[in-house]
């Protein structure tokens, strides 16, 4: 019977066998608790019909658990030193494949079409390196990768921001960007003690289920996000001040901005973090007339 990779002893053995040292720059923290991995795979609702996409497999701890349940697992690994280790640890699983590539530079759509040709149900499941969490999530969402959803472990503080509701201090442009495309929910908190090496902060697992269509219909998506970012320019300022200061030619168009807020029925003294996605949608459509 094979011992699971994600136990403290087996992890230690594997690292020692290959003389592997952690690279801080790649945010490498390996999970050494099998129960947590089982729960992550449960939350992703992986079945034998699922194609699982993993980013940053490390020494294969999560990959192994995915391979036991999914039809096929495709993992993107950027660190060349891990390739021989993964070839060894994943050798019992013929349905797991590792690609040596930076997922941020990959042609994801093309690769997934090729690798998961007859698989309808695709799910991203990963323990994401902290330093690239947001760019990876935004790439997956903006490129409209055909996945059912994304279940990822990331820094608890980032998870709090992603799942935040309007009116909370965590709520900001990241919450809106992700909730525009998905329904976001934190499904578990992971203590820092279950990693080797131990990170400085706790982690959380967040589940993002893709909406059939975006949370709000807007006339110009790029402009909608521009308005959102402008509204959070300086958190302590009112929405009016932020839009005037952060939209192109905002100062010259102050009267137009006031008019747009009025038409969208938004009090100019409110702060960005109190507006719902729907209110931002209404506002950006009104502003678009002046900023086209």
Q: How far apart are CA 292 and CA 218, in angstroms?
A: 14
Q: Which residues pair with 100 in a beta bridge?
A: 77
| Residue 13 marked in a binding site | no
Rg (the chain; Cα; Å): 22
Query: For residue 73, what are the CA distances in angstroms to 33, 164, 169, 205, 248?
Result: 20, 31, 37, 19, 45
Nearest by Cα to 222 from 292, 272, 278, 275: 292
Strand intervals (E) in the chain: 30-31, 50-55, 72-77, 96-100, 121-127, 149-155, 182-190, 195-196, 203-210
Q: Report residue 251: phi and psi, to 5°.
A: -65, -40
Residue 31, marked binder: yes
Tokens 């820094």 label which residue?
A: 155
Q: Environment class of residue 149 by beta-carbon count within 10 Å: exposed (0-12), middle (13-18) or buried (19+)?
A: middle
Residue 77 known to bind ligand: yes
- Cα–Cα distance, 291 to 176 (Å, whole number): 21
CA neighbours closer than 13 Å in the CB half-sphere of residue 52:
34
Residues making up the binding site for S-adenosyl-L-methionine:
29, 31, 56, 77, 102, 127
Which residues fall in the annotated binding site? 29, 31, 56, 77, 102, 127
């Amino acid at each position: 019977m094979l011992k699971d990779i994600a136990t403290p002893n087996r992890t230690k053995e594997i690292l020692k066998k290959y003389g592997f040292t952690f690279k801080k720059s790649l945010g490498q923290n390996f999970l050494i608790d099998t129960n947590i991995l089982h729960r992550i795979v449960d939350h992703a609702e992986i079945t034998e019909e699922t194609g699982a996409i993993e980013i940053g497999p490390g020494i294969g701890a999560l990959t192994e658990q995915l391979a036991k349940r999914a039809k096929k697992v495709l993992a993107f690994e950027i660190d060349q030193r891990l390739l021989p280790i993964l070839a060894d640890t994943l050798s019992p699983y013929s349905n797991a494949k590792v690609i040596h590539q930076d997922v941020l530079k990959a042609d994801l759509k093309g690769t997934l079409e090729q690798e998961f040709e007859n698989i309808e149900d695709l799910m991203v499941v990963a323990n994401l390196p902290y330093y690239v969490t947001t760019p990876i999530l935004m790439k997956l969402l903006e490129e409209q990768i055909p996945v059912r959803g994304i279940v990822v472990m990331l820094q608890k503080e980032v998870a709090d921001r992603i799942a935040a509701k309007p009116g909370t201090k965590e709520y900001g442009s990241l919450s809106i960007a992700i909730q525009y495309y998905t329904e976001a929910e934190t499904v578990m908190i992971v203590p820092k003690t279950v990693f080797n090496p131990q990170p400085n902060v706790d982690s959380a697992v967040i589940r993002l289920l893709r909406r059939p269509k975006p949370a709000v219909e807007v006339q110009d998506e790029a402009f909608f996000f521009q308005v959102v970012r402008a509204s959070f320019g300086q958190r302590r300022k009112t929405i009016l001040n932020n839009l005037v200061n952060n939209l192109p030619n905002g100062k010259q168009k102050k009267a137009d901005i006031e008019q747009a807020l009025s038409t969208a029925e938004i009090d100019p003294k409110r702060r960005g973090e109190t507006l719902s996605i729907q209110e931002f949608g209404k506002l950006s459509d009104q502003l678009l007339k002046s900023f086209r």
